[in-house]
A and B are shown apart, each in its own frame.
Chain A
Amino acid sequence: MLSIKNLYASVEGQEILKGINLEIKPGEVHAIMGPNGSGKSTLANVLAGKEEYEITAGEVFFQSENLLEKSPENRAKDGLFLGFQYPVEIPGVPMANFIKTAVNEHRKHRGEKELTAGEFLKLMRAKMELVEMKTKLTNRSVNEGFSGGEKKKNEIFQMAMLEPKLAILDETDSGLDIDALKTVANGVNALKSPETSSIIITHYQRLLDYIVPDFVHVLYHGKIVKSAGKELALELEEKGYDWIKKENGN
Chain B
Amino acid sequence: MSVLVEKANLSLKYMAHYNEVKELLFEGSSEVINAARKKAFQDFVLQGIPTRKNEKYKYTNLHPKFLPDYNFVHQRKNNTVDTKTVFNCDVPQLGNKPTLIFNGWFDENSNQSKEFPEGIILCSLEKIAHDNPKLLQKYYAQIANTATDPLVALNTAFAKDGYFIYIPKNLIVEKPIQLINFLHANNSTFVTQRNIIVIESGASAKLILCDHTLNLNQYLNNSVTEIFVGENASLDYYNLQNQHNKTTSINSIFIQQERDSVVTTHTTTLHGGLIRNNLKIVMNGENAVANMFGMAFIDKKQHVDNSTQVIHVKPHCESNQVYKNVLGDESTGAFSGQIHVVRDAQKTNAFQRNNNLLLTDQATMQTKPQLIIDADDVKCSHGATVGQIDQEAMFYLRSRGIDEDKARMMMMNAFAHEVVQEIKVELLRDRIDGLVEKRLNGEVARCHECAYNCEC
A98 at the interface (CB under 8 A from B): yes
Binds B, one of A5-13, A83-91, A186-194: A83-91
Per-residue interface assignment for chain A, residues 66 to 88, with 1 indicating a CB less than 8 Å from any chain B CB and 0 otherwise: 00000111011100011010011
A90 with B403, Cβ < 8 A, contacts A73-B398, A101-B410, A141-B414 known: no
Contacts of B406 in A (CB 8 A): 101, 105
Q: Is the CB of B417 within 8 A of A98?
A: no
Contact mask A34-78 → B, CB, 8 Å, 1/0?
A: 000000000000001111000000000000000000011101110
Q: Is B16's CB within 8 Å of the partner chain A? A: no
If A91-B418, A92-B415, A93-B410 touch, whether A71 touches B404 (CB-CB below 8 Å) is yes
- Interface residues in B398-432 by Cβ distance below 8 A to A read 398-404, 406-407, 410-411, 413-418
Let me know if A162 is at the binding interface, CB within 8 A: yes
Chain B residues whose C-beta falls within 8 Å of the C-beta of A24 in the assembled complex = none
Which residues of A in the span 106-149 have a Cβ within 8 Å of any Cβ on B? 106, 109, 141-142
In the bound complex, CA of A90 to CA of B401 (Å): 16
Report the minimal beta-carbon distance from B377 to chain A, rounded to whole angstroms. 32
Interface centre among B393, B411, B415 (most CB of A within 10 A): B393
Nearest Cβ in chain A — how far from B195, in angstroms? 33
B403 touches A105 (CB 8 A): yes
- Is B380 on the interface with A (CB-CB < 8 A)? no
| B410:A76 contact, CB within 8 angstroms | no
Tell me whether B395 is interfacial, beta carbon within 8 Å. yes
Are B404 and A73 in contact, with the CB atoms below 8 A?
Answer: yes
**Contact status of A50 and B410, CB under 8 A, knowing A73-B404, A98-B400:** no
C-alpha gap A90/B417 in the complex (Å):
11
Is the C-beta of A197 less than 8 angstroms from some C-beta in chain B?
no
Contact A84:B396 (CB < 8 A) given known A92-B414, A98-B410: yes
Q: Given contacts A73-B403, A101-B406, is CB(A92)–CB(B396) below 8 Å?
A: no
Q: Tell yes or no: B397 within 8 A of A by CB.
A: yes
Give the number of chain A interface residues (Cβ < 8 Å): 31
The answer for the CA separation of A92 and B406 in the assembled complex, in Å, is 15
Q: Is A172 an interface residue (CB 8 A)?
A: no
Contact A92 B418 (CB under 8 A): yes
Contact of B393 among A51, A77, A90 (CB under 8 A): A90
Contacts of B418 in A (CB 8 A): 91-92
Q: In whole Å, how far is B396's beta carbon from the nearest beta carbon of chain A?
A: 5
Complex Cα distance, B406 from A103, in Å, reads 14
User: For residue B398, which residues in chain A have a CB less than 8 angstroms away from its CB?
Assistant: 49, 71-73, 76
From residue B129, how far is it (CB to closest CB) to chain A in Å?
46
Tell me if A102 counts as interface (CB < 8 A to partner B). yes
**Which of chain B's residues has its CB closest to A72's CB?**
B398
Q: Once bound together, how far apart are the Cα atoms of A72 and B402, in whole Å?
A: 9
Q: A90-B414, A93-B414, A141-B414 are in contact. Are A48 and B401 (CB under 8 A)?
A: no
A106 touches B401 (CB 8 A): yes
Q: What is the CA–CA distance of A90 and B407 in the complex, to the nearest angstrom?
A: 11
A88-B392, A101-B406 as given contacts; A76 in contact with B399, CB under 8 Å: yes
Which chain B residues border A84 with CB–CB below 8 Å? Answer: 396, 399
Q: Is the CB of A109 within 8 A of B392?
A: no
Among the listed A50, A76, A141, which residue makes an inter-chain contact with B400, where contact means beta carbons less than 8 Å apart?
A76
In the complex, chain B residues 277-335 whose Cβ is within 8 Å of any chain A Cβ: none
Q: How far is the CA of A141 from the CA of B415 in the complex (A)?
A: 12
Bound complex: CA A136 to CA B400 (Å): 20
Give the docked Cα–Cα distance between A197 and B360 (Å).
41
Also in contact, A93 and B413, with CB within 8 A (given A73-B398, A88-B393, A98-B397): yes
Contact in complex: A105, B401 (CB < 8 Å): yes
* Interface residue A198 (Cβ < 8 Å from any Cβ of B): no
Pairwise interchain contact B400-A158, C-beta atoms closer than 8 A = yes
Contact B410 A72 (CB under 8 A): no
A residues less than 8 Å from B396 (CB atoms): 84, 87-88, 90, 142
A233 to chain B, nearest CB (A): 27
Q: Are A49 and B401 in contact (CB under 8 A)?
A: no
Of the listed residues A51, A72, A87, A158, the one surrounded by the most CB atoms of chain B closer than 10 A to its CB is A72
In Å, the complex CA distance between A93 and B396 comes to 12
Q: How far is the CA of A102 from the CA of B393 in the complex (A)?
A: 14
Decide: B397 and A162 in contact? CB cutoff 8 A: no
Collect the chain B residues with CB atoms within 8 Å of residue A158's CB: 400
Partner of A49, one of B399, B407, B414: B399
Contact (Cβ within 8 A) A77 B404: no
Query: A162 and B401: CB pair below 8 A?
Result: yes
* Distance from A81 Cβ to chain B, minimum over Cβ atoms (Å): 8
Closest B residue by C-beta to A89: B393
A109 touches B414 (CB 8 A): no
* Distance between Cα atoms of A7 and B414 in the complex (Å): 37
A141 CB to nearest B CB, Å: 7
Nearest CB to that of B396 among chain A residues? A88
On whether the beta carbons of A102 and B411 are closer than 8 Å, the reply is: no
| Bound: A142/B407 CA distance, A | 13
- Per the bound structure, the CA–CA distance linking A81 and B404 in Å amounts to 17
CA distance A81 to B399 in the complex (A): 7
Least CB distance from B414 to A in Å reads 3
Centre residue among B390, B393, B399, B413 by max chain A CB count within 10 A: B399
Complex Cα gap A98–B413 (Å): 12
In the bound complex, how far is the Cα of B440 from the Cα of A177, in angstroms? 42
Asked if residues B400 and A90 are in contact (CB atoms below 8 Å), the reply is no
User: Are B402 and A48 in contact (CB-based, < 8 A)?
Assistant: no
Q: Which residue on B lies nearest to A79, using beta carbons?
A: B401
Known A50-B395, A72-B395, A84-B396: A91·B402 in contact at CB below 8 Å: no
**In whole Å, how far is B15's beta carbon from the nearest beta carbon of chain A?**
49
The reply to whether A82 and B413 form a contact with Cβ atoms under 8 Å apart is no
Q: How far is the CB of A94 from chain B (nearest CB, A)?
A: 8
The 6 closest A-B pairs by CB, nearest first: A92-B414, A92-B417, A76-B401, A102-B400, A72-B398, A105-B401
Q: Which residues of A contact B (CB under 8 A)?
A: 48-51, 71-73, 75-77, 81-82, 84, 87-88, 90-93, 97-99, 101-102, 105-106, 109, 141-142, 158, 162
Could you pull out 11 A-B pairs where Cβ atoms are within 8 angstroms?
A48-B395, A49-B398, A51-B391, A51-B395, A71-B404, A72-B398, A73-B398, A82-B399, A88-B390, A92-B416, A101-B406
Binding site for A on B (CB under 8 A): 390-393, 395-404, 406-407, 410-411, 413-418
Give 5 A-B pairs besides A90-B390, A101-B402 with Cβ atoms closer than 8 angstroms. A71-B398, A72-B398, A93-B413, A98-B400, A102-B400
